[in-house]
Structure 1
């Protein structure tokens, strides 16, 4: 299961994998996925809480922390996902570390005027948007599970433009546009991954939980940065 690989759902068409499961098995699969998703959110919150006092050190060594985290998400989780016990340790270590990784951003926002409110509003907005998109994914008759390749292409194109802007252009306007585009792509990913979950299309509940967690994580980071931009303009 790659960190941003939307093809780790094992179905070749909408509902294919569900046909190999009974309705009761699918319901159990979905429940287990969302339990792991909720537990992952809690682990990330603990990571952020523990890491806040060390935000400066995390920022100073950011890439030495972030790169192993990303590699572990892309390869390590996939290697242990079918090993009971070890897979749960790996899952919660990964999500705990994600909370630590965002502490520099959290610390920066919290240091702003009304920073606590900005963080809370970003989280509430993320939760509301995630919930609305998940509800839409359940109710719509449109199949978004076929969007895997366009989504991953769009994600990496936006990421490339983001890096170019960070290292070469340094344009606040371009940064704002990139965040808006990224918000749109992640929103579609939520619908895509939710449909795969409710159809039992992932190989394991852990696969589905990680997909949902990364969607929520990316939504939160994007909204937090946008709230930070607009919050700083009011100072």
Structure 2
């Protein structure tokens, strides 16, 4: 009787994790498409980059609201507001690469393809092996904070070498975040698909921008 109860609980946990995973990937796909749409609109209307201060305030403000209302329908509204806003900030950056480099379109597509391959590869690995990557939490949080402040320093003091180092760090950190978040969903550590979606979206966004910056430096043609 006890064995049957444990088995039933285990099966219920697996079903719940699968539901969160399915909802996360569905919402992630929708937010990525929405973000791409707002980025395209920003490029069509030639909207200027809002600047780092507005970008950070908008990002953290909408992230707070998304987290605050993640257990209600308003959470869906704010997650689209967040990803749409990030798309608007991405549009001018893409426009700059397309006009600053003669092979700008190739750089953007290569970064996009690389981001997709990394995300799909790491997600497939986590899903197939079902390894628990929860041990990476502390390292990833510390690494993201260090990289974030290093990025601010590189921007404020105009240090190109540090900026490249930060991009390389973010690629590694975001790859780790994808493994960690997918593992959390699989093993029941993350049960809110809205929060899981935001985490994966931010990882993909930063991964794409970091790849694009490195490609621009090493493969860009004036």
What is the TM-score when the length of structure 1 is the normalising length? 0.82
Contact residue 21 and residue 185 of structure 2 kept, 8 A: yes
1:41 and 2:32 correspond: yes
Contact residue 46 and residue 99 of structure 1 kept, 8 A: yes
Structure 2 partner of 1:12:
none
Greater mean alpha carbon deviation, residues 170-179 or residues 152-161: 170-179
For structure 1, the 5+ residue unaligned runs are 1-17
1: CA distance, partners of 2:181 / 2:155: 29
Q: Greater RCO between the two (CA within 8 Å, min separation 6)?
A: 1
Distance verdict in 2 for CA 1:80–1:198, change over 3 Å: same
Q: 1:189 aligns with which of 177, 188, 199?
A: 177
1: CA distance, partners of 2:165 / 2:52: 24
1:154 and 2:146 correspond: no
Structure 1 partner of 2:6:
none
Alpha-carbon deviation of 1:54? 4.7
1: CA distance, partners of 2:153 / 2:49: 23
Contact residue 26 and residue 199 of structure 1 kept, 8 A: yes
Quote the RMSD (CA, aligned, Å).
Answer: 2.1
Alpha-carbon deviation of 1:68? 2.2
2: CA distance, partners of 1:64 / 1:141: 39
1: CA distance, partners of 2:188 / 2:202: 18
Aligned length: 213
Structure 2 partner of 1:107:
95
Structure 2 partner of 1:71:
61
2: CA distance, partners of 1:146 / 1:230: 34
1:177 and 2:165 correspond: yes
2: CA distance, partners of 1:182 / 1:26: 28
What is the TM-score when the length of structure 2 is the normalising length? 0.87
Structure 2 partner of 1:97:
85
For structure 2, the 5+ residue unaligned runs are 1-8
Alpha-carbon deviation of 1:23? 2.6
Structure 2 partner of 1:88:
76
Structure 1 partner of 2:133:
144
Alpha-carbon deviation of 1:193? 0.7
Distance verdict in 2 for CA 1:194–1:174, change over 3 Å: same
Structure 2 partner of 1:117:
106
SS at match of 1:58: coil
